[in-house]
Structure 1
Amino acid sequence: MSILASLYSGISGLAANGNAMSVIGNNIANNNTIGFKTGRTLFSDLLASNVSGSGGNSQVGRGVGLSVVDNVFSQGTFENTESNTDLAIEGEGFFVVKEPLTNQDLYTRAGSFRFDEEGRLVTPEGFRVMGYALAADGSVSGDLTTIKVDTQSLSPPRATTNIKLTTNLDADAAYRGPFNIADPVNTSNYASSVTIYDSLGNEHLTTMYFSKMDPATNPLEWEWTATIDGTEVGGAAGPMAIGSGSLQFDATGSLVSTVPANPLTTAGVFSWANNANPAQQMSFTFNTTQYSSESVVIGQSQDGYTTGSVAKLTIDAEGNVLGNFSNGLPKQLFRIALAKFTNPAGLVKEGANVFTASQSSGAAVVGTVGSGIGKIFTNSLEMSNVDLAGEFVKMITTQRGFQASSKIITATDEMLSELINLKR
């Protein structure tokens, strides 16, 4: 083999170590890039030449070549943020995004998302985040689609169907006489009000009056009457009864029976003046005690609500996009998709923190949180997995490798000079 071959071995070392330094520089430059995955340079020796010697045939190497630059998909640490739309993945999954112009599917670990002016969940570069629309019961409905929330839509109202009261009625309260709906305040011992909703989402105030019954004939028993303003159901002004009955307690103050049965259902009395559904039914459930302490409402609830517009969009740990409406109703709208690959190292970097699939990576397997692809953490971003200390060590060894390769060239040049001087 000619001495000139050593020149090319040195050149191959310069080229290989130069490329390695480029990879190291790129890693260090992206030390603070969200979701960045560090690159790794692998070298391989070049095909050796055969030379003959007194001991037989031998092989002499011809330098070094760049084998592959692959991506290391180790888990990065998480950074806490103030934005609920910042997401981080724990596991091997990727977010699925779509390039709006080419409609190409891309994959990323950088979850710095936001909603644009049209309600789309997008990356800072405008790539659209993909997911699944959710049905009313929270189940996945349909195929993979762009996550886009109609922020101008209204959430429909829901008529009240259930009212639950948790109260204590004072066992020491005095008997005030039979309840008179014409004078409810002076013929009752205690009252509690709750807002209910009709089928059109209009509010109506319902007041529940509690009257202690004559202990001589009805010991440990209370009468209750639910009322509403008569004008709201096409009647005269003043309280109108929409339900009544009694509550029976035992000597320990525990509720033992209700009349009608608990829960009771009231129907057919709501001839709403605003033409809402007159067939509305409501069930009253009492969770009531009678102790020797002040009458008090511990809790009350009802399941109706008025119309509402989207007030805020958030994302939960299951990857669900939630629309928080102005009526206080949260609603699951979409579920963010996650993808995984048989060989993530085979993904191709496309810049802007995204990858494309290749034959080496295999096709994407798409699912959601809970399908074994990964977990999502909100108010978090995955930081770069670059190890600065390791990169600086590699920088030193690469620099020395480059210097050593250059010495091969200068030493060979000196040898060639000596060979040329033989002629003199």
Structure 2
Amino acid sequence: MGLSASMWTSVSGLIAHGNKMNVVGNNLANVSTIGFKSQRMDFNDYLYLGAGSASGPTQIGAGVNTYAVLGDFSQGSFESTNSGSDLAIDGNGYFKVRKPNSDEMYYTRAGDFYFDKDRQLINPQGLRVQGWRVDNSTNLTFNRGATSLGSLSSAESSYVGSGTPTDIVLDMWNLPPKQTQSVSFTMGLSTDAGSDRTTNPDNPMSALWNQWDGTAETPLASTAYTGKSDIDIYDQGGTKHTLSVYYDQVALKSDDYEIKGLPSGYTVYEYLVTIPPSEDNRTYGGTVTYDAKGNPVLDGNEQTFAGTKQAGVLMTGHLIFNESGQLVNQTAYTYGANGKDAAGNDLTADKPCDQDPTQMSSWQPTKISSNGLPVFTANFDGKPLVNSVSEMAANGGTPYSVAENYIIELDLGLRNTSNNPAWDNMATSLADLATQAGAQPNDPKTLDFGTKGATMSSPNRETNASFLKQGKSVVQDSDADGYSAGILSTYQIDENGIVYGSYDNGETMALWQLLLCDFDSPQGLYREGGNLFSETKKSGKARQGVPNDAGFGSTTAYNIEQSNVDMTREFVQMITTQRGFQANSKGITTVDTMLETVISMKR
């Protein structure tokens, strides 16, 4: 090994340190680049040549080489901004963006996004941010005698969006109206003695139902009940209506009757779900035909609920509380729920229910939703075959429910999680319940819950709200879905990557959920420039997920992630690189001097 080899050894040092200075310089150049991930260069000893020595064979090094350039994928600091579409990932993951008019996908930590004129979420290069669309539709269907609305699952998934990830576009600028499908109330009902405002010795369990008069200007006097809940609901056209629920305690014993079979300290309330009688457009009777579009049409022989005593009554039933004031049982009756006509025959798909709504026998135990809640029908526009939860249409094909888009589930604090088609041990109708309270051999009249069974007792039923004892009945909370038409006014993005739209009708709705991706080997990602990475065989396939789930970081709006370049460390690397470069250059000049000496000796 000669002097020329020594020179090339130092030259390799110059080349390696020059390359490292490029890496250091690139890091410092991108110290303010958002989402930038710095790099470092590692060296390795390059080559060894065999040589002889007094002690035997040996090796002499022949220089240095670039061993690896590794990325630092640690978290960068956050900088706050004034834009709600600016996003930073706190933790693992990358945003996925698509090149317009192609299927090319890239990954980035730079979340400087904004909505363009077409309301697409893009970055400054025009790449489309990817996410899952949120399906806000809820369709109520029938299954084995029960209704289906939503899910029984109590486990909340981090995935709000569904389907195939695609470009995020705020295309729901105009929000169409949505009919109410679910209402809930939490009531604090008094258990004080003397809270039974309305009594009926012949039908003690149906006193409110009998007291209601849909033909009167005031259907129910204010002195007839101990509590009342009002809430706004919406029909299919987005028109607002008032739904009222009345409550009145049922005295368990009077001079005329006695209700037995309940444990000591239990309390019973009757409730009545109503709308204004003038807005009740249900009908009964008549014959169904179909128009050219297949819509059901009545022949004109139908009778309207309006003008009858029970006009406006949608559901009635009972709430039973234990000695601690907790709701433990419930009954619920709706018109024509047994799916039979007045003669007791099963309804056909082309025949509407013709039971007289003023008769107690026409009110039977209602169906339940898959959420375990009783349901009722509200018909505001007079559409045929939406008067009972059991009416069906056919039009020459498979029977289907027209009423499913008009049915509302009621949550008063108790759910049936057994998902049974019908509730156990409930009286077959209000008339049957009244019969159970008929004259017994010994006065007073008695209704024995223990033997006759008028409640929905089952080990599979659980409460989802508390009804507390107190001196005065009050509404503690109420809620209902449904809304009128609205226009998008603003948006916000939460830590789970969910894009919410806020509308001028007061509704806030989840519209999209951001997609995050991660890789088994981020070191294998290819740096495309423009704050972008692309997938390679070395990185492995992208793992998809959503923020705040399965190891993915959360999203923080009004923030962008800064470069993770540590300037102090880079300056240290710059100094050591410079010294290494100078040392190798000194080696070259020294070898050059030595070569000149050798050449001059020859001369």
TM-score of the superposition, structure 1-length normalised? 0.77
State the 1:88 CA deviation: 0.6
Partner of 1:242: 313
Is the contact made by 1:231 and 1:273 (CA closer than 8 Å) also made in structure 2? Answer: no
1:131-280 aligned at under 5 Å gives the runs 131-136=131-136, 141-164=162-185, 166-169=187-190, 171=192, 181-183=216-218, 184=220, 187-188=223-224, 191-208=228-245, 227-233=274-280, 241-243=312-314, 254=325, 266-267=376-377, 270-272=379-381, 279=403, 280=406
Q: Alignment partner for residue 298 of structure 1, among 476, 485, 504?
A: 476
> Could you tell me which amino acid in structure 2 is paired with residue 90 of structure 1?
G
> Could you tell me which amino acid in structure 2 is paired with residue 196 of structure 1?
I
Q: Which structure features the higher share of strand residues?
A: 1
State the 1:32 CA deviation: 3.9
Q: Deviations over 1:331-379 (max 9, x none)?
A: 4444433333343212221112211223433343444458746233333
Partner of 1:40: 40
Distance 2:268 2:75 in 1: 65
Partner of 1:337: 515
Distance 1:249 1:329 in 2: 35
Distance 1:18 1:398 in 2: 8
Partner of 1:31: 31
Q: Relative to structure 2, which stretch is displaced further, 109-118 or 370-379?
A: 370-379
What SS does structure 2 have at the residue aligned with 1:166?
strand
What SS does structure 1 have at the residue aligned with 2:483?
coil
Distance 2:229 2:129 in 1: 48
- The 1:404/1:101 distance shift into structure 2, 3 A limit, reads farther
Is the contact made by 1:323 and 1:333 (CA closer than 8 Å) also made in structure 2? Answer: yes
State the 1:79 CA deviation: 5.9
Is the contact made by 1:168 and 1:298 (CA closer than 8 Å) also made in structure 2? Answer: no
Q: Deviations over 1:248-272 (max 9, x none)?
A: 88897957887865987654x7353
Is the contact made by 1:94 and 1:107 (CA closer than 8 Å) also made in structure 2? Answer: yes
Distance 1:55 1:256 in 2: 96
> Could you tell me which amino acid in structure 1 is paired with residue 126 of structure 2?
G
- The 1:19/1:257 distance shift into structure 2, 3 A limit, reads closer
Distance 2:498 2:542 in 1: 21
What SS does structure 1 have at the residue aligned with 2:43?
strand
Is the contact made by 2:45 and 2:65 (CA closer than 8 Å) also made in structure 1? Answer: yes
Q: Alignment partner for residue 529 of structure 2, among 337, 351, 355?
A: 351
Overall identity of the aligned pairs, in %: 32
What SS does structure 2 have at the residue aligned with 1:361?
coil
- The 1:132/1:285 distance shift into structure 2, 3 A limit, reads closer
Q: Relative to structure 2, which stretch is displaced further, 349-358 or 314-323?
A: 314-323
- The 1:81/1:188 distance shift into structure 2, 3 A limit, reads farther
Distance 1:243 1:45 in 2: 86
Distance 1:53 1:40 in 2: 38
> Could you tell me which amino acid in structure 2 is paired with residue 353 of structure 1?
N
Is the contact made by 2:185 and 2:479 (CA closer than 8 Å) also made in structure 1? Answer: yes
State the 1:186 CA deviation: 5.8
Matched, 1:403 2:404: no
Q: Deviations over 1:364-408 (max 9, x none)?
A: 344445874623333365443333333232222111101111211
Distance 1:65 1:31 in 2: 27
- The 1:400/1:179 distance shift into structure 2, 3 A limit, reads same
Distance 2:135 2:315 in 1: 39
Q: Deviations over 1:51-104 (max 9, x none)?
A: 55666655443332323322133444566767465131523x333222225542
Distance 1:227 1:84 in 2: 45
> Could you tell me which amino acid in structure 2 is paired with residue 88 of structure 1?
I
Residues paired across the two proteins, number: 420
State the 1:417 CA deviation: 4.2
Q: Alignment partner for residue 413 of structure 1, among 566, 588, 592?
A: 592
State the 1:246 CA deviation: 7.6
Q: Relative to structure 2, which stretch is displaced further, 186-195 or 348-357?
A: 186-195
Distance 1:371 1:174 in 2: 52
What SS does structure 1 have at the residue aligned with 2:554?
strand
What SS does structure 2 have at the residue aligned with 1:305?
coil
What SS does structure 2 have at the residue aligned with 1:201?
coil
Gaps of 5+ in 2: 137-149, 151-158, 200-210, 259-266, 282-305, 334-364, 366-372, 388-402, 414-465
- The 1:378/1:155 distance shift into structure 2, 3 A limit, reads farther
1:43-82 aligned at under 5 Å gives the runs 43-51=43-51, 58-76=58-76
What SS does structure 1 have at the residue aligned with 2:17?
helix
- The 1:39/1:416 distance shift into structure 2, 3 A limit, reads same
Distance 1:343 1:319 in 2: 24
1:67-106 aligned at under 5 Å gives the runs 67-76=67-76, 83=84, 86-91=87-92, 93-100=93-100, 103-106=103-106
Matched, 1:19 2:40: no
Q: Relative to structure 2, which stretch is displaced further, 282-291 or 55-64?
A: 282-291
State the 1:36 CA deviation: 2.1
Distance 1:290 1:104 in 2: 59
> Could you tell me which amino acid in structure 1 is paired with residue 580 of structure 2?
G
Distance 2:130 2:222 in 1: 62
- The 1:63/1:381 distance shift into structure 2, 3 A limit, reads same
Is the contact made by 1:223 and 1:244 (CA closer than 8 Å) also made in structure 2? Answer: no
> Could you tell me which amino acid in structure 1 is paired with residue 164 of structure 2?
D
State the 1:140 CA deviation: 6.2
Distance 1:248 1:357 in 2: 60
State the 1:316 CA deviation: 4.0
CA RMSD in angstroms, aligned pairs only: 4.4
What SS does structure 2 have at the residue aligned with 1:34?
coil
Q: Relative to structure 2, which stretch is displaced further, 331-340 or 402-411?
A: 331-340
State the 1:155 CA deviation: 4.3
Q: Relative to structure 2, which stretch is displaced further, 177-186 or 21-30?
A: 177-186
- The 1:355/1:296 distance shift into structure 2, 3 A limit, reads same
Distance 1:248 1:67 in 2: 77
Is the contact made by 2:112 and 2:123 (CA closer than 8 Å) also made in structure 1? Answer: yes
> Could you tell me which amino acid in structure 1 is paired with residue 87 of structure 2?
D
What SS does structure 1 have at the residue aligned with 2:236?
coil
